[in-house]
Amino acid sequence: MAISLSNMQALPFTTNHNLSLRSENPFPVTFSTRNYPFKSSEVGALTIKPTSSEVQVLSSDALTSSRVIEEPWKETGVEYGPTMKERAENELVDRWKEIHGEDDWVGLLDPMDSLLRAELIRYGEMAQACYDAFDFDPFSKYCGSCRYLRHLFFKGLEMEDYGYDVTRYLYATSNINLPNLFRHSRWPKVWSKNANWIGYVAVSNDEMSKKLGRRDISISWRGTVTRREWVHDLMDFLRPVSDEKIPCPDHNVKAESGFLDLYTDKVQDCKYCKFSAREQILTEVKRLLELYHNEEVSITITGHSLGSALAILSAYDIAETGIHIGSSSQARHISVLSFSGPRVGNLRFKQRLERLGVKVLRVVNVHDMVPKAPGLVINENLPPECLKFAQWSPWSYCHVGVELALNHKNSLFLKDTNDPACAHNLEAHLHLLDGYHGKGKRFHLTMGRDIALVNKSCDFLKDHYQIPPCWRQDHNRGMVRSKDGRWIQEQRPVLDDHPDYTHHHLRQLGLPH
């Protein structure tokens, strides 16, 4: 059947992002704010042409100037939009403990529970915000910092409707060799020689707390800024967590030494890492728990890649330290929703984490190498007899929690590539979550996430969608025109008005100071 495109007025290419479709090509894209944590000015020109197969699925009713053409990859009969969102919010009030692992996600993963999918994507987007807000550019004097002030974080990323307020930025430093983790500016004078911004602590506002059924403290960690080689940098040995003053009664509970260093290192003469990431986390969580002591509170920690390891380590530390236990001796629920994370500790670490009641759900891509390390040889896949014998090795690792395994080859939108960065990409994981319905079930998208997000920082979508690879970019790379007409680096503050915790706060927690 021949189809004329001359009368077609609008084609919604992806959810909430309209294409102005005219008789000539290319088709300019107009971005709205929904589902995109960035400004349209940060994006280069995108051109998209519908393929013949996509045009053939259009109904004849859609070929009038007053009709909207259905998105070619939407499944008919799938509920989208506010109705689905409102139903999920109402259901979450009653089911949030189940969704956050109260019963270890039994019966929720196969088939995939729709509410769990929505929650995983929501927290995954909060972890993705760590990348979107990070200044990667070595030609920027602020390289390695966050591009937004704390109180403008979600507004700057156009994520105000997430319903969270950032209460603390997290900075980390390290004395180990991590060239692919930290980014530093080429400018002679930089905002910090030792620290990098590595995440944030946020808390749900009053309106969002009503929808969630509790006050939620969310901690998000970012991963490495170059995501291919970091595993090789962190192929290190295990060491007892008690060596870093974490109050663990079992000296045989061990974690990867690089993770521990990053989590506990500090530099006394640096205003950003005068206190370690561990001290920043514990003091802020304790402060928030005291602030909302009369409410039901949950602690949800998320992260991608190396951030996943830090999420698990910080969740364990909060539980081991006991700051999540309120005045009524009732422990607040702690859950970790991690993405493409490595192994963190040994078998005793896993057993201790479970005994403390921390719930961990790990979302992985089966073709991603990062979750397979460290511990490529000695790990939880060994027979129990061998693992029991080998657990005393300094290279014997064990995954924690429950695994949700996804396969990017099941998505019709992704191309076959051997690029490890694609298999490891966080936006690709969120895309796979959107279409996953259970083992052996057909992949189809249900949340209406924009597939263009997959190519935000990689080249993973099939070429015929004509989404440019690595298309996300900062507007003019931070260059602005001065009053005298010269182009100069935009001036922005770095040190935010975060609480300046003192040794008194650390003493209250029983931490060394």
* Alpha-carbon dihedral 435, 437, 442, 447, rounded to 10 degrees: -30
357 HSE (CA, 13 A, CB side): 16
d(CA 197, CA 193): 12
Q: For helices 277-291 and 257-264, give the axis angle rounded to 10 degrees.
A: 60
171 forms beta bridges with: 197
Which of the residues 220, 305, 314, 338 is marked catalytic? 305
- Distance CA(468)–CA(188), nearest Å, equals 34
Please report the beta strands in 279-318, taking only residues with DSSP state E, as ranges in sequence order: 297-304
CB of 203 closer than 8 Å to CB of 111: no
Q: Please tell me the distance from the alpha carbon of residue 181 to that of residue 185, in angstroms, as a whole number.
A: 14
| Annotated catalytic residue, options 17, 100, 324, 424 | 424
Contact between residue 327 and residue 246 where contact means Cβ atoms under 8 Å apart: no
How far the first Cα of the chain sits from its last, in Å, is 76
| β 402-406/479-481 pair status | unpaired
Structure-block tokens of residue 312: 């698990």
Task: Check the CA dihedral 303-305-306-308 and report its sign.
Answer: positive
Active site residue 368: yes
Q: Is position 305 annotated as part of the catalytic site?
A: yes
484 carries an active-site annotation: no
Catalytic choice (368, 434, 459, 496): 368
Give one DSSP letter per residue of 162-204, joined into a string: G-EEEEEEEEE--SS--TTT----SSSS-S-SS-EEEEEEEEE
Annotated active-site positions, please? 305, 368, 424
